[in-house]
Structure 1
Amino acid sequence: MALADRFARFRHFLRQVGHLSSPYFSRSGEKWRARGLLAAIVLLNLGAVYMLVQINEWNRVFYDALQNKDAAVFWTQLGRFTYLAMIFIVIAVYRFYLTQLLQLRWRAWMTRDLMHRWLAGDAFYRMELGRYIAPEQDARQTSGLPEPGQRVPDNPDQRLQEDVHLFTTQTVGLSMGFLNAVVTLASFVGILWGLSGSFSFTLGGSEYTIVGFMVWMAVLYCAVGSVLTHFIGRPLIGLNFEQQRREANFRHHLVRVREYSETIALDKGARVEEQNLDTRFAAVLANYLKLIAKQKQLVGFTNLFGQAAVVFPFIVAAP
């Protein structure tokens, strides 16, 4: 796929995320509380990165004191570590608590909002028929439900119960993870740049010098690893979506057997229903085997990448 197509798909993905996220933070009755929680989580994440930088500096001073057998500095740094660790623990605890609280509140609001849309105007019935006929154009534009001719989402009950939970949890988690990665990179690049010297080499009779050699090698190593991880793990997106769909279909048919138990029993249809259930369950297992195979590849690569990262800094620093 061309780079332009990938970029266009990524922009479309971001627009979809924004379309689903913006109502809670911009138009809901909880918008100010939601914004406050989000701001607090961002500040706590920045604080956690700052504390990691301080602990990194503490490591340098502490191990220098050990190497120099400086007892005074050793005991002073032990005392400093006590309050650094306590501050970091407090930040970590409240970052976790407020993140979970935001995810819970967002999920509650979004679930109720979507349930209202699903039940309004008998939309749940029309969706089961495979179409949605809005009573008026304005309602069609604001309902958030499919228009006539559009593909109707499968298993709306699962979308309301499970997908909303996954969306809110992963959106907050991935956003804060990205923020942490960017701030950590900016914080530690300066430290690594100060430690890294220039690397000179001769090529074709000319001498070249790379300033901040270790920084560029670290960026290159991470970039290559990220790209390879992306291409190895990308098929998991479709496989996980398909797994959820097949699990929901199997669960839906189990519920259907329970709801129509009397009719099935009177018609002696237990054997037929068992065959139908077995077919759906076989589809679940078949897709899960594909998931396992792809995850095996991803786990193998990430472990290889992680083990290589242990010796890579020494190889880069050796020159």
Structure 2
Amino acid sequence: MNRIDINLNRVDRQLWQRFWTIAKPYWFGNEKWGARGLLLILLGLALLNSSQEILLSYMNRDLINALAHKNIKAFYETIALSLGIIAIAVPLNALSDYVQRKLALYWRRWLTERFISQYFDNRAYYRINSDPTIDNPDQRIAEDIKSFTNVSLDLLVMLLTSVITLIGFIGVMWSISIPLVIILVIYSTLGTFGTVWFGKRLIGLNFNQSKKEADFRYGLIHVRDSAESIAFYQGEGREVDRVKERFNGVYRNFNRILKWERNLSLFTQSYQHLAHLFLPFLVLAPLYFSGQIKLGVITQATKAFDKGLKSMSLIVLKFEKLSEFAAGINRLGLFAQTIENPDILAKVGLPTIDTVVDEQVALAHVTLETPNYHNTLVRDLSVTVAAGEGLLIAGQSGTGKSSLLRAIAGLWQAGTGRISRPNLGDMLFLPQRPYLILGSLRDQLLYPHTNRDISESELDLILKQVNLAHLPERVGGYEVELDFVSVLSLGEQQRLAFARLLLSKPRYAILDEATSALDLKNEQSLYQSLKDLGITYISVGHRSSLLKYHSSVLELLGDCRWRVTPVEKYQDGVLI
């Protein structure tokens, strides 16, 4: 077994637990009565549908007997009764399918909303990136939940229908031939054990296939999102190799699935053909030849045997679907466990930085490490940024400047010491490449609080302040939705982010190379706007032009070393 294959014994132990963890909240939550009501209707319809199959078996028996005895009256009476049963059964089947799909849709909506809420709670969407076992969360939310709800109900209805059908048709067979019932039980038991033995390998292979298919799709999405950069670098050859490598993983794993499905198919088809063609006739033929039963009884008994065998052989007939479902449960269950308990992403027993809410930003004896605890970036750092002061974080690339901002924001917690800061609602972070949402110009400016009621004249004033007065006319107004990443240059995006900052008016602003694409005149204007509003800011940057806007410099020297210097004694990294 390859290392990437899951431990099947572990999966078997956890499968039911994970299924119940995912399913239980809906059936015992705030929508439980509506869900249970629809489920009860669905189960009632399944009972009626199974009952009509049993009735039709009797109609089929009487029809064959009428033909054998050339009884025209009985023949047409049986046809009429059969048509009446079918006339009732058809709408019942359609209604059952509708109710099942409706219930699956409601369940999917509830479960998707729950997963999305947990995905965004406690920044699980960010922390999950450091967990290599959780790949492609988008697929798990969009596809695995849909599959889980649909297949769960399919299997439930199938199971209930099988139980009802089995009880009814075993009663039919018992009245005809007890040995036929015994053979049915023995044969279906052997078939189930044989199918599990041949097919258990498919669970692990299907689990891996879902992962590899998602990785391949993500590789193609990455190419689409990075198309311009790839074109500039002329990196098509490298990207082709990478995408092909991922597809080869899909191909190789699916090839293994095909081989095991072939083995399973050989067994299941032999199992089904032997039952359909020989077993019931071998048992019933002597009774017919001796005159103990009529021809119609044989047709009824063979149909009853076939229905009973399908009911008892649910695992045999649906094993491929069950193996895919099991793989999906494990993917979704592991994802649910992770986003419900984001703290499990932290290394158990390893130290974390203590973060407390205070009026100002202060770091006390902070030692910051990378999330995997492999590298220490800075050691025993203490610095305070009082209101009205500005701190510039400087240093060579790779010394941990941006990482320190992540720690202040609470994104990175690996290490020791204490970080004090205001509530995150009183702070706003501006990265070098601003985040532009999918939405209108108004949405861009008001993000993340897009429901604020701010007039267009106020927005015009802010855009003029950041030298983007022409933007509304250029993009067609404040309400037109565009792909602003492709419409605006990086410099325009940075000025738009500053406009967002000036509208929010936070107490503290954290600026990570936020003016790197701007000329000195625009940079000066933006920092002056921050000062005029009384916003305290912490900046990361390399440009010496930033010095005059700050009170002190925190220089990260590498090898975990640092120093804090008043700005008047610091120039281009040299104490003066």
TM-score normalized by structure 1? 0.82
Q: Does 1:219 find its partner at 2:219? A: no
* Equivalent of 2:265 in 280, 284, 299: 299
Q: Structure 1 residue 96: deviation in Å?
A: 0.9
Q: CA–CA distance in 1 between the matches of 2:13 and 2:163?
A: 20
Partner of 1:87: 88
For residue 318 of structure 1, report the CA deviation from its aligned partner. Answer: 4.5
- The structural deviation recorded for 1:230 is 1.8
Residue number in structure 2 paired with 1:107 = 108
Structure 2 gaps of 5+ residues are 1-7, 287-576
Q: Structure 1: how far apart are the matches of 2:212 and 2:269?
A: 30
Q: Which amino acid aligns with 1:20?
A: I
1:194 is aligned to 2:175: yes
Letter paired with 1:311: F
User: What letter corresponds to residue 58 of structure 1 in structure 2?
Assistant: M
Quick one: which amino acid aligns to residue 313 of structure 1? Answer: P
Q: Distance in 2 between matches of 1:301 and 1:116?
A: 45
Counterpart amino acid of 1:38? Answer: L
Matches within 5 A, 1:28-47: 28=30, 30-47=31-48
Summarize the Cα distance change of 1:9–1:268 in structure 2 as closer, same or farther, 3 Å threshold.
closer
**Pair 10,152 (structure 1): closer, same or farther in 2 beyond 3 Å:** closer
Go from structure 1 to structure 2 and tell me whether the alpha carbon gap of 1:231 and 1:79 turns closer, same or farther (over 3 Å shift): same
Which stretch shifts more, 232-241 or 274-283?
232-241
Q: Aligned pairs, how many? A: 278
The aligned residue for residue 465 of structure 2 is none
Residue matched to 2:240: 274
1:23 corresponds in structure 2 to 25
After TM superposition, the structure 1 = structure 2 runs for residues 232-311 of structure 1, keeping only pairs within 5 Å, are 232-309=198-275, 310-311=277-278
The structural deviation recorded for 1:156 is: 0.7
Match of residue 312 from structure 1: 279
Shift of 1:264: 2.4
Q: Distance in 2 between matches of 1:78 and 1:250?
A: 56
Deviations 1:13-60 (A, max 9, x none): 2222121111111113x3222111111110011111111111111112
Correspondence 1:14 to 2:9:
no
Deviation, structure 1 residue 314: 1.4
The Cα RMSD (Å) is 1.9
2:82 is matched by which residue type in structure 1?
A: F
Which is richer in helix? 1
AA matched with 1:249: D
**Residue 167 (structure 1) shift:** 0.8
Contact 1:217 1:316 in 2 (8 A): no
Q: Which amino acid aligns with 1:279?
A: E
- Unaligned segments of structure 1, at least 5 residues: 1-5, 131-150, 197-211
Q: Secondary structure at the match of 1:128?
A: helix
Q: How far apart are 1:184 and its partner, in Å?
A: 1.1
**Given the alignment, which residue of 136, 157, 171 partners 2:152?**
171
CA distance in 2, matches of 1:281, 1:105: 35
Alignment partner of 1:27: what SS? coil
Deviation at 1:281, TM superposition (A): 0.7
**1:103 Cα offset (Å):** 1.1
Any conservation in 2 of the 1:229–1:302 contact (CA below 8 Å)? yes
Q: Is the 1:46–1:180 Cα contact (8 Å) retained in structure 2?
A: yes
Query: Is the Cα–Cα contact under 8 Å of residues 45 and 180 in structure 1 kept in the other structure?
Result: yes
Opposite residue 176 of structure 2, the aligned amino acid is L
Deviations 1:129-181 (A, max 9, x none): 22xxxxxxxxxxxxxxxxxxxx7421111101111111111111111111111
CA distance in 2, matches of 1:73, 1:316: 28
Partner AA of 1:218 in structure 2: L
Which AA in structure 2 matches 1:244?
S
**Greater alpha carbon shift after TM alignment, 223-232 vs 280-289:** 223-232
Aligned twin of 2:65: 64
Q: Which has the higher strand share?
A: 2
Following superposition, the deviation at residue 261 of structure 1 comes to 2.2
Q: What is the TM-score of this pair, normalised by structure 2?
A: 0.46
Do the aligned partners of 1:107 and 1:165 also contact (CA within 8 Å) in 2?
Answer: yes
Q: Are the structure 2 counterparts of residues 55 and 317 from structure 1 closer, same or farther at C-alpha, using a change threshold of 3 Å?
A: same
- Whole-Å separation in 2 of the counterparts to 1:12 and 1:192: 38
Bigger shift: residues 262-271 or 45-54: 262-271
306 and 79 in structure 1: CA distance in 2 versus 1, 3 angstrom threshold: same
Aligned match of 2:128: 127
Going from structure 1 to structure 2, the CA distance change for 1:295 and 1:8 (only over 3 Å counts) comes to closer
Please name the residue that 2:302 is paired with: none
Bigger Rg, structure 1 or 2: 2
Q: Does 2:117 correspond to 1:116?
A: yes
Contact 1:127/1:152, CA 8 A, preserved across alignment: no
Please give the per-residue CA displacement for 1:58-106, whole angstroms capped at 9, x wherever unaligned: 1122221222222221111111011111111112111111111111111
Distance 2:11 2:261 in 1: 24
Q: Secondary structure at the match of 2:173?
A: helix
Q: Distance in 2 between matches of 1:236 and 1:7?
A: 13
How far apart are the structure 2 equivalents of 1:33 and 1:295? 39
Q: Distance in 1 between matches of 2:179 and 2:77?
A: 34
Q: Aligned to 2:134, what secondary structure does the other structure show?
A: coil
Q: Distance in 2 between matches of 1:90 and 1:16?
A: 36
